[in-house]
Structure 1
Amino acid sequence: MSDGRFFQTTKRGEIHELKEELHSANKDKKKEAVKKVIAAMTVGKDVSALFPDVVNCMQTSNIELKKLVYLYVINYAKAQPELAILAVNTFRKDSLDANPLIRALAVRTMGCIRLEQITEYLVEPLRRCCKDQDPYVRKTAAICIAKLYDISPELVEDQGFIDILKDMLSDGNPMVVANSVAALSEISESAGKNVLPMNENTISKLLAALNECTEWGQVFILDAIATHTPTSARDAESILERVTARLSHANAAVVMSAIKVVMRFLDRITNTETIRSLQRKLSPPLVTLLSAEPEIQYVALRNINLIVQRRPTILATEVKMFFCKYNDPVYVKMEKLDIMVRLASERNIDQILMELKEYATEVDVDFVRKSVRAIGRCAIKLDRAAERCINVLLDLIETRVNYVVQEAIVVIKDIFRKYPNRYESIISALCENLDSLDEPEAKASMIWIIGEYAERIDNADELLDSFLESFHDETPSVQLQILTATVKLFLKTPSSTQDMVTKVLKMSTEESENPDLRDRGYIYWRLLSSNPEATKQVVLADKPTISDDSYSLDSSVLDRLIDNIAMLSSVYHKLPEAFVTRLRTVQKGEYEDEEEEEEEEDKVARLRQEMKEGPAYESDEEDERDRDRDRDRDDESSGGEPTDLLGLDDTTTTTTPTAAAPTVPQQMVLNADQPGQKGQRGLKVAAALTRFRGSIVLQMTFGNMSQMPLSGWAIQFNKNPFGLAPGGPLQVQDLAPGQTATASLPVTPNQLLSNNPPAVPLILQVAVKTSLDVFYFNVPVDFGVLLVEDDSTDKDTFKDLWARIGEAKQVSVMAMAPQPLPSAQCIQTLAAVNIKLVAQRAADTFDSLYFSCTTTNRLVVLAEISLQKSGNGVKVVTRTEAGPLIPLFQAQVAKSLTLQRTG
């Protein structure tokens, strides 16, 4: 299939030619025809009409041809379930073939078809293959049982296949054992219960197979052993003695799985010398992984980050291995910085500071910032090394590099919090750089230092007064610090700063629209006017000391992540249920819901199956009754008259039925009557982008305005900010002149392609190819369509994320509603577009509602919407790490609530 001639552009009538070639008596010609069919299928052409003809080619002894036909059957079985049954007899016959490769191929293919109609025919061949004399067939059958469980769990349990898999753990072939372990592990994950018996007898069998199976078989076995809980320290030591040999394996996955077993079992060992010996064995393989390619380095570093949090002594003497190389990718450098700080101690701090000082002269701004921040973390972590860290920071400040100076000031503020009244002598050096500050965080830090140590700064009032000139132009975080610092200054030197504090309090309470700033201003004003002494006790009270916990994980979370070393969660540093849909469903106990249990990659195929067009999907009586009710309801809503969306003649219109597609208003996006559009050449299109069962669907209605039949449909999207792409081929019937047809196309999203703000309103540029021409049109996209229904942000998550994003990435807008907007109406309206309420707070003059939404590519947007009680005013404050989402979110809120922006 590597020959490019099979992928050349096809011509009209090719389907008919292929049909004739597939029935040719010439075996070579038949094989060539099947290759052409597979090539057409590969590039997205619909060749499902050839299903019966291709299936007839299964009756052959040529294994290459048989593989090609099986590949075709797997791809189109869901689209042609009735015809797929025709191939069952051949599958059953091939499962008895003398060639073990054909026996395994037949069982594997039946397991991949994923149709319940096929499963009942698969049971007997599968049971027979599990006891086949050839190990290749047995190992294939083991994996097939896991595939069958995904389709019909009850059938697997009723037919005793799980017990068969347990018996196969005693097989003499190590690959059969490894595949049986893999199948049982997958079934355990799907079922939400452990079906893999991990006792001494099983462990002994797995360890015996460990040395002889392939590297990926070793990964399966090691991951299974990691779930075992040793009964005693001696049991743990004996297992680790045989596992540690895998630490020197050439495959990084095997090494990481072996490290996971060692980390898990170390907690069970009581002998101190044994623990020390095992920790020494862990160091070389971890260091070796850092000489691999950058991608493997990154994964290893993310796992090492977890390991050193649990057992820092493992790599305590290897800190040099984490020094950054000049050609390391930035993502590797960032991880190395974190680990260097974790390994920092009194013995190696001088080496680390020299390295970090060198990094601060690099050209990558983000890397430089994190290097300076790492110096501050070292100062906070190590009391005795704090002075050396500060000296390095002062040297960096003297470089007068703007972003280095500003990051150093932010770090020094934290050091002052950690060590009050110890290093104030450097404040004068900081004040010399006041004019170079232009970043909100650096400004806020410097203002905090001035206010906290105002009595030690001779011209503190002048320095603060310089910030008042641009008070209203500053970010909320800087304004809050100016307010607090001015109050501190007044409490320390009340005689000379009374006018200044009055001015700041008036600007904060009377001239500001920020509710946080106003609230704090009112609190200070009332405290100062009622009891100045009490104000001193509140504002000038001792601050609690801080520690370097910005990157530390909760112990319970860390334990679970250690259990998942070498898994995706150990790279994300998130628990599996936080990002794996299937696992989240299993933990809820919703095992009966097949739609929620299926893998993400099957989602698009399942959606197309549910929305499939054609009479083959209308055979069930219940479905037919549902469609009758839908048609009756549509007739009633339209006054009993049929609706022709494109305005064609009713007598010539035929619409392809869409069994499960939702009904949404469609807009005319390509009009043959509109001058200047390609619709003049023969096509009208109405379309709408909507959500259906948790996925995005593009619904379209096509009208043939030409004098020729339209066929050969295909679709493509232009590049767009969300990476929206067709989730499958466009399936539309051939259209005669004057006819219409509908189609529902699943759409898959991807990550944001750039940080450039997308156009508002957002549009999707679509090209549809037909036998007549290629037609181009734009489909409007509501931001709500790109939001998931299952946003699970709670109050605590909202607070943490809101604080972490910070005010630097916040946008506020003022708007007016047509009439006073009740909170309940606002909540209900935004919930309809998947913007969910997290919390609400009522005040005297306004109600504050806190909302969260998550895009399909897992980007989170947070918002605070304040509704004026005595008027129509609405304030929308939005925060998100993905800045380009903010205008889209604000436009969606304005559209849903019919708001008119005022500022």
Structure 2
Amino acid sequence: MGDARYFSSSKRGEIHELKEELNSPNKDKKKEAIKKVIAAMTVGKDVSPLFPDVVNCMQTNSIEVKKLVYLYVINYAKSQPELAILAVNTFRKDTMDPNPLIRALAVRTMGSIKLEQMTEYLLEPLRRCCKDQDPYVRKTAAICISKFFEISPDMVEDQGFVAVLKDMLSDANPMVVSNAVIALCEMQQQSGKRMMPLDEKTVSNLLLALNECTEWAQVIILDAITMFQPKDSKQAKEMIERVSARLSHVNSAVVVFSNGGLVEARAAVDMVVGSTLTNVLSAIKVIMKMMEKLNNTDMIRVMCRRLSAPLVTLLSQEPEIQYIALRNIRLIVQKRPIVLQGEVKVFFCKYNDPIYVKMEKLDVMVMLANERNVDVVVAELVDYANEVDLEFACKAVSSIGRIALKLQAAADVCVNAILELIEHRADYVLQESVVSMRDVFRKYPGKYEFVIGPLCENLESLAKPEAKEAMIWILGEYPDRIENAGDLLYSFLDGFFSETYAVQQELLTAAIKFFLKDTSKTNQDIVSKVLKACTDSSSNPDLRDRGYMYWRMLSMGDLEKCKKIVVAPLPRIMDTSLLVESNLLEILLGTIGQLSSIYFIAPDELIEGTKQYEEMEDYYEDQSSVEDRSQNIKAVKAAMASPRSYEERTTDLDSGSEDTSSSSSSSDEDDDDESSESESEDEETPTTATPDLPIQRFMVHPEDQKGDVVERVRVCCTSLDDVRVLRLVLTSSNGHTGLKVAGGIGFVKGVLCMELLIGNSGGVPLTGFAIQCNKNAFGLAPKLTQIAGMPDTLQPGSSVSVRVPLEPNRLNSGSPPPNHPPLLLQTAIKTNVDIFYMNIPYTLYVVFESKQMINAEQFLSLWQRCGADRQTSRAAVPSQPLNPEMVVARLRQVNLFHVNTRGSRDGASAALYFGACLTNRLVVLLELVLTRTVPQKVMVNVRTETPPLVNHMHYLIESLLQLKPATKAQQ
């Protein structure tokens, strides 16, 4: 049975028994007790009452026991910070233990306990370990410095640990060097400051260490070298020669990761089967970077050919590795097409390749196709088009069309191949052929119209919306080349309202083209029927407006002018579907082998995590120093920092809230005016430059609609891109897209609700909507899984606003909330297509009790119990003068209840005390000290027994009162 027995106990009163066993003088009994504690902690039981007893067990020479105790301390240090301090002396003692394993274990644990109050006690032991004689301790200390930097970056810099890491770059042990590199790179990424020294001497030391360290250490060093900027072509050539040896590495793992963040790197490692991929790609990345400095064309050609063999070798690995290699090959080939110029046959698909590998190989084949190999490539694609896998066969047909667009000299070969496939009369082949030929007609007008006849013979086989769009475009563009074009177009009109909006729009345009080219009675009937359907019966605003535009244009009577607009010659097109935009390409080439290069998404968009809160707090800073800020974030910050009063901004919003989106479902009309706010609110507000905030709510407590001082409090529930936690078009668990969601959480008429704007941006109707939330710290969950007010069917292109009432304490996770705002409610929306997952942001006030639960006597008792050790203070300056009455009114609106006010003896300041009880019975206490100086200063003091609530509370107060951090001079 082994250690499994520790996880099977479920008896009551276990804590008391464990406490006795932990204090037993018997070492074996104590060891068994610690194992039981760790097992209970692992399965989610609360064993925090045993903290002092477990910490006492640290005084032992057993490494196994120390590891278990350290694991316990790491887990409960955040919730028991005052007890975690008890372990400081043991840490300091263990860093001087004769056993280097214990010294390293102590250092590693020190770095994992992220408590700022402990950091200052551990700096000296850490400094001592950085100079330890054992390299294992030194390399562990290097990583510990980067972890301390996450907690207190200023302290790490002031204490000179950055210089210590730089000295480690010249350490004799290559593992110490690699860990120093990784620590400096992480700190550089977090701070945005230049910390990694990349001069010639440092790079030379790194290259020397490269030959002696492990494979993953080589990856880390190569990533750092990627950031080096050679001063001339000669130096770049020398770098290439020294790194080229990595290309023949037995483990192809020395080639992937770049300088863009170890979180992403580790995620990529988990995704790859084995460590084989990384060595080769990291080396290729360095060489690609250095080739930018080469001015010798022959040298560039030689190096490109040298890159070919290792890339081809990767294609003989496992399918997962092949896929990652193929995604990176697409980037490399786009930048340097000659790298794999003569290797197209390597990418021919094997019968046992997984579908995801086959699809990537098709894309690479299209990119490598040229005049010399096009016959072989097209013949291979024709074979693929006859495969039983429909998705693969359709992609093969579309690939033939892309080659026709890419290579003018090969267009005849490609068109003949498509004609050959059409003769087989397979429905899926025909539909892809129609789409491909539509693009060929655009690229080569007047050249391949003889294909139109065979396409029109199989019109009844078209089922995909894309194929229908393409066929209708062909009918509208070439009505004079098709004998019964009017009848064919009329056949599509019978099912007009069952088609997607894209097909309907194509039908409208084609009907107008028919009429302008031939004003016969038949065409008049067609255009009248289409225009009437679009303007009278369509719920799509774009289609309706386009119909009105065409109708008014035709009513002017000048058909020649109309022809110049609608039937004008079209510009030629080119296939860019496989190309990455040039700026993004340069970014992705610097992240070869990371998730960024696999998803073709910039690292800043892919990795959010801690950056999200940093971006939210940056609105306090001088905007002139912030360069890379999205427009939506700027709009939110400008709105929150607006010098106008809350009432003025509320009036602006309410005045613009009457125009709801005409694409919303009719169920919206049943809601009151307060709930039908438009997507263009704040249009008249000069401070918010971008009207890209689909949902912004003013959350107001109903009891506060009185009094002269009362002002509405704005809590922005921004659009999905604004908080960068949701995507505009959500991707489901199986990769489907089409659900467009914006959302926020707040009070509406005193009821806690999740307000969602749900849109269908896909091509099929969405039905069967249901909603559910994941377990969370406050147990927030919908009262009903069905979404009230949601229509049975949400048509493509339409959207609807709904409210989902929420109730706390229904799905409690038993874990504390995250340390930094915003709070996120993990939500899933189920449709007939798939299940879509998202995070809905909300602010702490949402989970405040609406009734006052703390009186003055209770407040005083709780305030003293928390003590000054649990108080966090921040000095701030308000954007407009504050008085006590105004502050009390504003905080009352979010259920922060005023308990007492105390003035100073000299009358220069006033202290206001507030308390809030959360729905899960946690308590937050607040002291606001307002000065009467000019400029006015505000001291915000927060006390709570739950540390994760501190930052959320400060963020809420600073948002409500429009506070900015005080400078040192102002303090």
> Structure 2 length as normaliser, TM-score?
0.63
2:554 to 528, 545, 550: 528
Give the C-alpha shift of residue 695 in structure 1: 13
Q: Write the letter of the residue equivalent to 2:136.
A: Y
Distance verdict in 2 for CA 1:377–1:201, change over 3 Å: same
1:557 alignment partner in structure 2? 584
Distance verdict in 2 for CA 1:694–1:58, change over 3 Å: farther
Give the C-alpha shift of residue 272 in structure 1: 2.2
How do 1:358-373 and structure 2 match up within 5 A? 358-373=383-398
Give the C-alpha shift of residue 49 in structure 1: 1.5
State how far apart, in whole Å, the 1-side matches of 2:230 and 2:156 are.
30
How do 1:588-667 and structure 2 match up within 5 A? none
1:516 alignment partner in structure 2? 542
State how far apart, in whole Å, the 2-side matches of 1:208 and 1:519 are.
68
Structure 2 residue 70 is matched with structure 1 residue 70: yes
2:39 alignment partner in structure 1? 39
State how far apart, in whole Å, the 2-side matches of 1:268 and 1:858 are.
49
Q: Write the letter of the residue equivalent to 1:514.
A: N
Structure 2 residue 26 is matched with structure 1 residue 26: yes
1:126 alignment partner in structure 2? 126
Give the C-alpha shift of residue 247 in structure 1: 1.4
Give the C-alpha shift of residue 229 in structure 1: 0.5
Q: Write the letter of the residue equivalent to 2:591.
A: N
Give the C-alpha shift of residue 342 in structure 1: 0.8
Tell me if structure 2 keeps the 8 A contact 1:764–1:780. Answer: no
Structure 2 residue 493 is matched with structure 1 residue 507: no
1:248 alignment partner in structure 2? 248
How do 1:143-542 and structure 2 match up within 5 A? 143-249=143-249, 250=251, 251=253, 252-496=277-521, 497-529=523-555, 530-542=557-569
Q: Write the letter of the residue equivalent to 2:798.
A: S
1:712 alignment partner in structure 2? none
Q: 1:348-390 deviations in whole A, cap 9, x for unaligned?
A: 1122212222222233332222222111111100111111111
SS at 1:6 equivalent? helix
RMSD, aligned α-carbons = 3.9
State how far apart, in whole Å, the 1-side matches of 2:794 and 2:407 are.
30
2:798 alignment partner in structure 1? 812
Tell me if structure 2 keeps the 8 A contact 1:174–1:213. Answer: yes
State how far apart, in whole Å, the 2-side matches of 1:765 and 1:144 are.
34
SS at 2:409 equivalent? coil
Q: 1:323-355 deviations in whole A, cap 9, x for unaligned?
A: 222222222222211111111111111222122
State how far apart, in whole Å, the 1-side matches of 2:25 and 2:838 are.
64
2:51 alignment partner in structure 1? 51
Distance verdict in 2 for CA 1:351–1:855, change over 3 Å: farther
State how far apart, in whole Å, the 1-side matches of 2:149 and 2:327 are.
33
Tell me if structure 1 keeps the 8 A contact 2:432–2:467. Answer: yes
SS at 1:762 equivalent? strand
Tell me if structure 2 keeps the 8 A contact 1:107–1:122. Answer: no
How do 1:819-838 and structure 2 match up within 5 A? none
Distance verdict in 2 for CA 1:491–1:760, change over 3 Å: closer
State how far apart, in whole Å, the 1-side matches of 2:161 and 2:453 are.
77
Distance verdict in 2 for CA 1:552–1:25, change over 3 Å: same
Per mean C-alpha deviation after superposition, the further-off stretch among 520-529 and 5-14 is: 520-529
Q: 1:688-720 deviations in whole A, cap 9, x for unaligned?
A: xx99x9899xxxxxxxxxxxxxxxxxxxxxxx9
How do 1:40-119 and structure 2 match up within 5 A? 40-119=40-119
Q: Which runs of 5+ in 2 are unaligned?
A: 254-276, 622-698, 702-716, 726-732, 736-763, 807-822, 841-971
Q: 1:726-773 deviations in whole A, cap 9, x for unaligned?
A: xxxxxxxxxxxxxxxxxxxxxxxxxxxxx99796553459899xxxxx
1:620 alignment partner in structure 2? none
Distance verdict in 2 for CA 1:885–1:589, change over 3 Å: closer
Q: 1:784-805 deviations in whole A, cap 9, x for unaligned?
A: 9xxxxxxxxxxxxxxxxxxxxx
Q: Write the letter of the residue equivalent to 1:223.
A: D
1:762 alignment partner in structure 2? 771
1:647 alignment partner in structure 2? none
Distance verdict in 2 for CA 1:578–1:352, change over 3 Å: same
How do 1:565-580 and structure 2 match up within 5 A? 565-580=592-607
1:544 alignment partner in structure 2? 571
State how far apart, in whole Å, the 2-side matches of 1:288 and 1:246 are.
14
SS at 1:565 equivalent? coil
Q: Write the letter of the residue equivalent to 1:172.
A: A
2:813 alignment partner in structure 1? none
Distance verdict in 2 for CA 1:808–1:447, change over 3 Å: farther
Tell me if structure 2 keeps the 8 A contact 1:192–1:586. Answer: no
Give the C-alpha shift of residue 149 in structure 1: 0.2
Give the C-alpha shift of residue 173 in structure 1: 0.7
Give the C-alpha shift of residue 194 in structure 1: 1.5
State how far apart, in whole Å, the 2-side matches of 1:354 and 1:532 are.
47
State how far apart, in whole Å, the 2-side matches of 1:101 and 1:887 are.
43
State how far apart, in whole Å, the 2-side matches of 1:721 and 1:312 are.
33
Q: Write the letter of the residue equivalent to 2:405.
A: I
Q: Which runs of 5+ in 1 are unaligned?
A: 595-662, 666-689, 697-719, 723-754, 769-774, 785-806, 816-825, 834-853, 862-879, 890-903
State how far apart, in whole Å, the 2-side matches of 1:94 and 1:887 are.
45
Give the C-alpha shift of residue 474 in structure 1: 2.6
Distance verdict in 2 for CA 1:388–1:266, change over 3 Å: same
Q: 1:772-824 deviations in whole A, cap 9, x for unaligned?
A: xxx9x98546989xxxxxxxxxxxxxxxxxxxxxx9981537x9xxxxxxxxx
Identity fraction in percent: 57
SS at 1:384 equivalent? helix
State how far apart, in whole Å, the 2-side matches of 1:184 and 1:79 are.
30
Q: 1:387-445 deviations in whole A, cap 9, x for unaligned?
A: 11112212222222222211111111111011100000111101100111122221121
How do 1:712-731 and structure 2 match up within 5 A? none
State how far apart, in whole Å, the 1-side matches of 2:381 and 2:568 are.
35
Give the C-alpha shift of residue 544 in structure 1: 0.5
Tell me if structure 1 keeps the 8 A contact 2:776–2:825. Answer: no
State how far apart, in whole Å, the 1-side matches of 2:64 and 2:40 are.
18
Give the C-alpha shift of residue 664 in structure 1: 13
Distance verdict in 2 for CA 1:526–1:390, change over 3 Å: same
State how far apart, in whole Å, the 2-side matches of 1:124 and 1:887 are.
44
Tell me if structure 2 keeps the 8 A contact 1:301–1:335. Answer: yes
Distance verdict in 2 for CA 1:695–1:275, change over 3 Å: closer
Distance verdict in 2 for CA 1:340–1:32, change over 3 Å: same
SS at 2:798 equivalent? strand
Distance verdict in 2 for CA 1:46–1:557, change over 3 Å: same
> Structure 1 length as normaliser, TM-score?
0.68
Distance verdict in 2 for CA 1:9–1:353, change over 3 Å: farther
SS at 1:195 equivalent? coil
Distance verdict in 2 for CA 1:593–1:98, change over 3 Å: farther
Per mean C-alpha deviation after superposition, the further-off stretch among 275-284 and 174-183 is: 275-284
